[in-house]
Structure 1
Amino acid sequence: MWWTFAFLNVFCLHGLAFDILVYAPRMMQSHVYFTARIANVLATRGHKVTVIDNIFRYDVDNELSSDIDQILNVEPSPQVTQLLSTGSLPTILWNSKASPEEQRAIMEGLGHVHRLQCAHLIQNTTLIPKLQEMKFDFAIHEVFDSCGTGILEVIGVQKTVIVSSTGPMDVVPISLGISDTLSTPSLLSDYGSFLSFYEKRRNLKFLSAMLNFHEMQDAMISPLFKTHHGLKRSSVEIMRQANLLFYNIHEGSDGMRMRGRRSYDIGGIAFKGHKNLSSEYQKLLSDRRPKVLVSFGTAATSSHMPENLKKSLLNAMKQMTNVLFIWKYESEDDFTKGEESITNVIFKKFMPQTDLLASGKINLFITHCGQNSLLEAFHSGIRVLAVPLFGDQHRNAKLAKENGLVEVLPKADIEVSSKVINAVRNGLLPNEKIEKNLIRVSSLLQNAKENAENLLISTIETTYSTDFPPNFSKFPKNYHPNTLIRVIDSAIAIVFVLVGFLIVKTFRKKLV
């Protein structure tokens, strides 16, 4: 009877097949692959998926499957190509600090890149007219790039799905009214699951920095959309018509976020299938020494690390001759060429991170604490030494440490080789608490990919099986963090004035 059920499944799917548009900006690897994976899952399911591949960087692969019906490529803006080729962005990320002011500056820099690419896309004379001729049942867009909301509006797509390759971008829960602005740690902050009374104001400044990132994009993009395509609404107003939200988080490692209706966690959906390692890596992993994998992601690359940090980190590695380090270092430069005789440090421009972590032969993973890297490490039960650099990485590290899953090496400590050595040695020593927690989370993540795919498919097919799915337009908006900062500062000022008045009044009475 199996063929009967298979036939019914195909028949039912045919009746539910949707025309779906996916907006996928190709900038950060983790953002790109998460969105691409969603597109691939829906296409494999039998839906007709069209992807807008908005290319910022050719060195980032989106890995779209052959099941995708159509891929509409948008070439990089010459200005964006020139800006990214200077290497200034990763250098800025490496030199940044976990303060609201510096995170705001970083996000403004990233926002500038996104604005330039969006302006380039808007002035494309063929893409948007072509999309306007096509019919889509609904569209999916990555919230990090505000350009997607404008595109969907001008081509007339009213039903939308917001996806976030990290935890919830602050602009989403605040604009859609699904979190408490005053009590929810910002994605950019260095806070974990709890805010003390005194931390709330500083956290509001982090929230303001993230909202400023989107507001700056909107300030430049909206007039261009209005001029070229008659756009009338802001990105926040457009965003509130969304029907669903999907986040790249898993409750096993990040269960502290407030959840709202129609918002779902699909962390694990971006897990890649494991491939056999090459003979070169198999030989490396056969080494009897403990093995440490070192990778800082694709945004703040190792090759752009400040020279003093690189030298200190390498010096620490060289002193631990009984440990084998496999370091993802993206360039063949004077730094690596001068160290070819080292026997315990292997430099790799590219390495199969997922497959190495899944091999069971890696003893410690030194990482920037990006969301995908963390989930991959937890899935494989690998000990993690977190070195957060920017964006959501500080919060990821803080929350993972609170949950007893990682140890943290502050970036500034890399400058002192002895601190690196102590951190690595501690990471290689048995730790019953961390290992027990890793076993628990790893077991939860074993079926995360399949569960996330099923949740994505069932939620989308159920939601869009009706002509008028509910959206967030009726949800109350939360207060803007800048408004709350002004209220808090005004209240503090009033208290000081009253206290001062009472002191002066009391002093005068004593004089009389």
Structure 2
Amino acid sequence: MRLCIVPLLLACIGLAEPYKILMYTNLFGHSHIKMLGAVSDTLTDAGHDVTVLMPVIDFKQEDKTAMKSTKKIIKVPPGQDTSTTIAAMDKFMTQMWTSDNSNPLFMAFHAPAMSAIFASQCRKVLEDKELLERLKAENFDLAITEPFDTCAYELFDAIKIRAHVAVLACSRLDHVSSTIGQPIAPSYVPGTQSTYGEKMTIGQKFMNILHFVMGDFLFGYIGDEDYKVAKELIPGVRSWREVLPEASYIFTNHIPLMDFPAPTFDKIIPIGGISVKTQRKSLQLPEKWDKILGLRKKNVLISFGSNARSIDMPVEFKKSILKVAELLPEVTFIW
């Protein structure tokens, strides 16, 4: 009987061992950085050995990793052309307030500029043979990335990590749905770049299809440009279009009850709210903010995300918000 217990105990020890995990997350777009940072810290806090590879695309985000407990971070400095292309991207971002976002061609028009940014940084990562050998020698059990930029999939294939999962900072991405075979249903599911709801006229449904097609084209174009760089540097490497569908799971940042109803399947798992800290110690406000929020009975936080920056907002838009604030003296507006 005792001889049977020993192998069982050894098996339990094996199951209790932490996994070695490689997280690939670009420093680009704070909401994306925060989501992947939350996943990294969650895994680290659970006892796993997490290494984060962070190619620096936007140098303004370099010190904003959004991670606290994860300490093993490898940063790849910007590529030779990245600084130039990101400056051009900044100019594009200033147009977010005045551009016609309902036009499905809006994002597609900027596909070459966006792809140049990611392809430049992809080259910087994949041409570092010493880094690739170092990562390969780690023998990671699992890799994680967000397929917003797909260079990670060529990296995973190059260093022979077969088990990987995807994490989305949103509910869905058109090119991911297309690549993994997720049903689209554009007659009632708004595309990622769409401005419509779940109830659409015939004309709006047609436009929604175009939004999906253009969204798929935009990120697919970025991914294909990454792959051109990858196969130039690493002969025989597989494309993201082949590697991404092999993801064991697709974790999405959405709460189904608060989202548009949409077709899905079992390997798509919602983890909405993972980046929100709910521990008691995290709910205690610093003294500064406690005083500000205590000035009036009601408070309103104004934020438009990391893409539509308030600093780029037209003056007339800002004046409109200020006029609304003047009409509500009992409310503290935080902008």
| Aligned-pair CA distance for 1:245 | 0.8
The residue number in structure 1 matching 2:4 is none
**Residue 91 of structure 1 contacts residue 306 of structure 1 at CA under 8 Å; is this kept in 2?**
no
Gaps of 5+ in 1: 1-7, 328-512
1: CA distance, partners of 2:21 / 2:146: 14
Over the aligned positions, Cα root-mean-square deviation in angstroms equals 2.5
Distance 1:289 1:162, change over 3 A: closer
Render the CA deviation track for 1:410-439: whole Å, top value 9, x for unaligned: xxxxxxxxxxxxxxxxxxxxxxxxxxxxxx
Correspondence 1:314 to 2:322: yes
**Residue 153 of structure 1 contacts residue 231 of structure 1 at CA under 8 Å; is this kept in 2?**
no
**Structure 2 counterpart of 1:121, which letter?**
V
Q: Provide the TM-score with structure 2 as the length reference.
A: 0.85
2: CA distance, partners of 1:259 / 1:47: 29
1: CA distance, partners of 2:26 / 2:57: 7
- Deviating more after overlay: 239-248 vs 54-63: 54-63
Render the CA deviation track for 1:72-108: whole Å, top value 9, x for unaligned: 1111235333444564133022222222122333555
Distance 1:37 1:281, change over 3 A: closer
Determine which of 221, 227, 230 is the counterpart of 1:216.
Answer: 221
| Aligned-pair CA distance for 1:181 | 5.0
**Residue 20 of structure 1 contacts residue 50 of structure 1 at CA under 8 Å; is this kept in 2?**
yes
Correspondence 1:282 to 2:287: no
Determine which of 76, 89, 97 is the counterpart of 1:74.
Answer: 76
Percent of matched pairs sharing the same residue: 25
Determine which of 184, 189, 200 is the counterpart of 1:180.
Answer: 184
Correspondence 1:237 to 2:242: yes
Determine which of 299, 306, 309 is the counterpart of 1:301.
Answer: 309
Determine which of 120, 124, 138 is the counterpart of 1:120.
Answer: 124
**Residue 225 of structure 1 contacts residue 231 of structure 1 at CA under 8 Å; is this kept in 2?**
no
Correspondence 1:263 to 2:268: yes
Q: Give runs of ≥4 in structure 1 deviating > 6 Å.
A: none
2: CA distance, partners of 1:160 / 1:193: 32
Distance 1:285 1:66, change over 3 A: closer
How many aligned residue pairs are there? 317
Render the CA deviation track for 1:429-477: whole Å, top value 9, x for unaligned: xxxxxxxxxxxxxxxxxxxxxxxxxxxxxxxxxxxxxxxxxxxxxxxxx
Gaps of 5+ in 2: 1-8
The residue number in structure 2 matching 1:489 is none
SS of alignment partner, residue 280 of structure 1 = helix
**Residue 154 of structure 1 contacts residue 230 of structure 1 at CA under 8 Å; is this kept in 2?**
no
SS of alignment partner, residue 26 of structure 1 = coil
1: CA distance, partners of 2:70 / 2:329: 48
Q: Provide the TM-score with structure 1 as the length reference.
A: 0.57
Distance 1:255 1:219, change over 3 A: closer
Q: Which has the larger radius of gyration?
A: 1
Distance 1:231 1:213, change over 3 A: farther
**Structure 2 counterpart of 1:90, which letter?**
M
1: CA distance, partners of 2:75 / 2:266: 34
SS of alignment partner, residue 295 of structure 1 = coil
The residue number in structure 2 matching 1:38 is 39
| Aligned-pair CA distance for 1:319 | 5.0
The residue number in structure 1 matching 2:5 is none
The residue number in structure 2 matching 1:51 is 52
**Residue 143 of structure 2 contacts residue 156 of structure 2 at CA under 8 Å; is this kept in 1?**
yes
**Residue 139 of structure 1 contacts residue 152 of structure 1 at CA under 8 Å; is this kept in 2?**
yes
